[in-house]
């Protein structure tokens, strides 16, 4: 049996989005009860799911954001659906946040394949974004802050990201693929870029990106798909199936 798209039966605002995703992915739709009041219900369901869909909720005193709580422990991707956009902005690309760090190639590849599959289903292109600031990059461990030439890091960031993009583009030759490397804080950059996006794809098990994920989920500008990317993630063995699952 194909893994289902899971959504809360008591969250009618996200039922339509979940139904659309089940059709896009050719997956059955599974309704679970109690997910809004008890996020662990969704985490349990994620063990046998292809996707968990839930509505965006802002954190309140003493209570964490539900999307972040579920995505941090889920064993499959989590799609967080924002409230309707009153402005009605035109939506274009699928945006994906990339790390472009030496040890992140496998995670970046998974995220990019996820974004490319989503773009194919939506008939659009992908914009791969890598943002960094003076506190973000990791210079050579023998360097002191005064010895780091931040201006020289930008070409390296471009090259690392381009190598990942080139490897994935061969599998998706019909999907327009662009990249953007900017020297700016990751969270605000993703928020600004995703204002005109159909979907934002982010990894959930990257220590340096947790603050950005929290910021995005506080007020998501578009639907956000959170993908487990850590090597210790229980569903790591399922990651190569992303191409098969979306085609």
Q: Determine the Cα–Cα distance for residues 105 and 111; give it in Å rounded to an integer.
A: 10
**What pLDDT sits at residue 76?**
95
Query: What sign results for the dihedral spanned by CA atoms 99, 116, 85, 21?
Result: negative
Domain boundaries, the chain: 5-81, 94-246
Closest by Cα among 41, 48, 34, 96 to 70: 41
pLDDT in tens, 64-114: 567 778 888 899 999 999 987 666 667 889 999 988 776 788 889 999 999
Rounded-to-5 percentages of helix, strand, coil across the chain:
45, 20, 40
pLDDT in tens, 141-158: 344 444 445 455 567 667
pLDDT in tens, 175-185: 999 988 888 88
What end-to-end distance do the CA atoms of the chain give, in Å?
A: 17
Q: Which CATH class is domain 94-246?
A: alpha beta
């Amino acid at each position: 049996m194909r893994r289902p798209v899971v959504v809360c039966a008591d969250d009618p605002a996200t039922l339509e989005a979940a139904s659309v995703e089940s059709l896009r992915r050719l997956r059955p739709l599974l309704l679970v009860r109690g997910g809004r009041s008890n996020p662990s219900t969704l985490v349990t369901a994620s063990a046998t799911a292809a996707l968990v869909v839930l509505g965006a909720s802002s954190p309140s005193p003493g209570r964490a954001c539900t999307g972040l709580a579920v995505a941090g422990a889920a064993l499959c991707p989590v799609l967080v659906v924002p409230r309707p956009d009153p402005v009605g902005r035109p939506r274009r690309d699928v945006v994906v946040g990339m790390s472009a760090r030496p040890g992140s190639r496998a995670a970046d590849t998974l995220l990019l394949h996820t974004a490319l599959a989503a773009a194919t289903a939506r008939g659009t292109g992908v914009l791969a974004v890598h943002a960094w600031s003076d506190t973000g990059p990791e210079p050579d461990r023998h360097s002191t802050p005064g010895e780091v030439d931040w201006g020289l890091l930008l070409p390296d960031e471009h090259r690392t990201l381009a190598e990942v993009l080139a490897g994935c583009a061969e599998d998706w030759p019909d999907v327009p693929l662009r990249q953007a490397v900017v020297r700016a804080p990751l969270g605000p950059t993703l928020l600004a870029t995703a204002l005109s996006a159909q979907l934002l794809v982010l990894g959930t098990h990257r220590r340096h990106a947790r603050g950005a994920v929290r910021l995005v989920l506080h007020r998501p500008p578009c639907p956000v798909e959170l993908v487990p990317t850590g090597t210790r993630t229980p569903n790591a063995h399922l990651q190569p199936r992303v191409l098969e699952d979306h085609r």
